Amino acid sequence: MTSPEKVLVEVNRARDGERSLEAAVVRFAGVLRRLGMRISTSEVMEALAGTAHIDNLDRDQFELLLCATLVKKAEDMPLFEAAFRLFFSPPEHRRFMEGRYRRAREERERMISLAREELRFQGESLDIDERELETYIALTPSEQDRLKEFLERSSSGIKVDASFRPIIENIVKGHLSRRRREMMHGPKPYHDLRPTGDEVLDAVVDALVDGAGTGGSLLYRDLMDISGDELKRTLVLVERLTRQLAGRISRRYKRSARRKSVDIRRTVRANIQFGGVPIKLKYRRRSVQKPRIILICDVSGSMSKYAGFVLQFVYGLTSVADRIESFIFSEDLERITPHLWRRRSFEETVKRLLEASGQWGQGTDLRRALSRFRKEHQHLLTPNTFMIIVSDAKTLGAKEAASHLGAIRRRVREILWLNPVPRAEWDELPAVEQFCRSCRMFECFTLAHLEHVLRERVWA
């Protein structure tokens, strides 16, 4: 009995000996669900029904059966294949994987309790959660020493009593959370998966998450992490996404004539030739207003990369917008619409913009930018206009900027703010709350986010 062909039989006999083919399929669907794939019960039942029609001992056929019934998206196939390879692997490999997972879990628990021991204030452990402790473990030894030293010094300071504890805790938490953000820079796939308690399932998911790394679809990648050699592929993807979205939107503008009401005047006129008998019906045309868009992009420092992608994306939707006006700002505002209307490739346009504009890569002053906008471009604001701001909300004069934003809000349909900082970190940006009074803010650091916001908010 060779393992590749007869692996299922072995799976059935593995571990507690009571595993049936049905149970294996159901558990495998569970693994796929944990990895983010949407699989309904009816699809699992279909997979089970399919087992009656194929040779279940043929590994390839069995894989194709599960693939055809459980996976309904081409993008999910690589993940499915990896999960299948791991889940339906020979028993010895599974045992190795489970053992490795168990050891890793024990090691993690040991490290966490060690970290809890090390991070003490006046002899007592600090009240910080596991995520922060994990960050502490991941720090370099010298960084860990610095933190321990800080705690020791604070513990023994003159006039320092137990009432200082919350302050110290907050300082340590703040530091760890900042370091975590720096280490991660954008979400890694599935990083929030918590163990289910089922060792086989967790071991497979864990192995897949380990292997996932920073690769994965460009659609879900932080735009900041897209490297030079991936740029072209990303731009092709942007073009594909905008084409899809524009196609979908234009379909809505051209609904079938049959759903509209009859235009009596035109029908009568068209049927005079038939003696007034309405042989040919004419329908009313529905006029659809396309939205107007004002795009204001922060191009200071790290924001310029995001701004470039957003500009490219929105310009792909020109055919389904009434008018797009674009501005960039860092220390001041600059209108760039004329540059973008010329028929040049996007890369060339951005290159020329860089040469012509003094705004790229400067500091951020939204207050000044919005003030100038209101002085010079107020006439662009109409009730059919969406203003889209792309910025991380780290600006000078946030209070005044928020007040300008409030004034603009009253004259437009909606202000959408695309923020590349993950939502979980907005608490640390005090200006976010002030801006949110006048706009809807969305986290937006991947192309998938961008597509979703534009589809759901502007062209809903």
Partner 1 sequence: MPLDYDKLTLEALREAFAKDGYIAGENILVPVYLALQLGKPLLIEGEPGVGKTEIAKVLARVFSAELIRLQCYEGLDENRALYEWNYQRQLLKIQITKDRLDPEEVEQDLFSEEYLLTRPLLKALLAEKRPVLLIDEVDKTDAEFEAFLFEVLSDFQVSIPELGTVTARQIPIVVLTSNRSRELSDGLKRRCIYLYIDFPSVEREVEIIRAKVPEVGEVLRRQLARAIHHVRELPDMRKKPSIAETLDWARALVAMDVERLEPKVIEDTINLFLKNKDDIEAFFKEIGAENLARLATAEG
Which residue ranges make up the site for partner 1 (CB under 8 A)? 38, 40, 42-43, 46, 49-50, 53-54, 60-61, 64-65, 67-69, 71-74, 77, 232-233, 236, 239, 243-244, 247-248, 250-252, 254-256, 258-259, 277-279, 281
Closest to partner 1 by CB, 149 vs 347, is 347
φ/ψ region of 159 (left if φ > 0, alpha if ψ in -120 to 50, else beta) reads left
Residue placing its CB nearer to partner 1 in the complex, 60 or 322: 60
Nearer to partner 1 (CB atom), residue 74 or residue 162: 74
Nearest to 373 by CA among 401, 350, 397: 401
Query: Whose Cβ is closer to partner 1: residue 40's or residue 384's?
Result: 40
Nearer to partner 1, 153 or 255 (CB): 255
Work out how close the CB of 460 gets to partner 1 at its nearest, in angstroms, rounded to a whole number: 12
d(CA 115, CA 123): 14
Write down the least CB distance from residue 341 to partner 1, Å: 20
As measured in angstroms, the least distance from the Cβ of 227 to partner 1 is 13
Task: Please spell the DSSP secondary structure of 357-411, one letter per residue.
Answer: -S-TT----HHHHHHHHHHHSGGG--TTEEEEEE--S--SSHHHHHHHHHHHHTT
Is the Cβ of residue 47 or residue 412 nearer to partner 1 in the bound state? Answer: 47
Nearer to partner 1, 15 or 248 (CB): 248
Q: How far is the CB of 348 from partner 1 (least distance, A)?
A: 13
Minimum Å gap between C-beta 93 and partner 1 is: 24
Q: Which is nearer to partner 1, 271 or 362 (CB)?
A: 271
Buried b (16+ CB within 10 A) or exposed e, 450-459: bbebbeeebb
Return the DSSP state at 161.
-
Distance CA 376, CA 379 (A): 8
Q: What is the DSSP string of 336-359?
A: -HHHHHSS--HHHHHHHHHHH-S-
Work out whether strand 120-121 and strand 124-125 pair parallel, antiparallel, or are unpaired.
Answer: antiparallel
Q: How many whole angstroms from its chain centre is CA 276? A: 59
- As a whole number of angstroms, the distance between CA 120 and CA 169 comes to 10
Considering the complex, what minimum distance in angstroms separates the CB of residue 445 from partner 1? 21
The 3-state DSSP class for residue 124 equals strand
Measured distance CA(360)–CA(334) in Å, rounded: 10
Q: What three-state secondary structure class fits 172?
A: helix
- Of 352, 284, 351, 294, whose CA–CA distance to 328 is shortest? 294
Gap between the Cα atoms of 404 and 367, Å rounded:
7
Considering the complex, what minimum distance in angstroms separates the CB of residue 252 from partner 1? 7
CA quadruple 38, 44, 50, 52: dihedral, nearest 10:
160
Q: 13, 25 in Cβ contact below 8 A? A: no
Q: How far is the CB of 327 from partner 1 (least distance, A)?
A: 29
User: Which is nearest to 58 in space by CA: 96, 19, 93, 88?
Assistant: 88
Nearest approach, Cβ of residue 215 and partner 1 (Å): 15
Q: Give the nearest distance from C-beta 278 to partner 1 in angstroms.
A: 7
Of the pair 281, 424, the CB lying nearest partner 1 is at 281
Query: Which residue number, 46 or 425, has a Cβ lying nearer to partner 1?
Result: 46
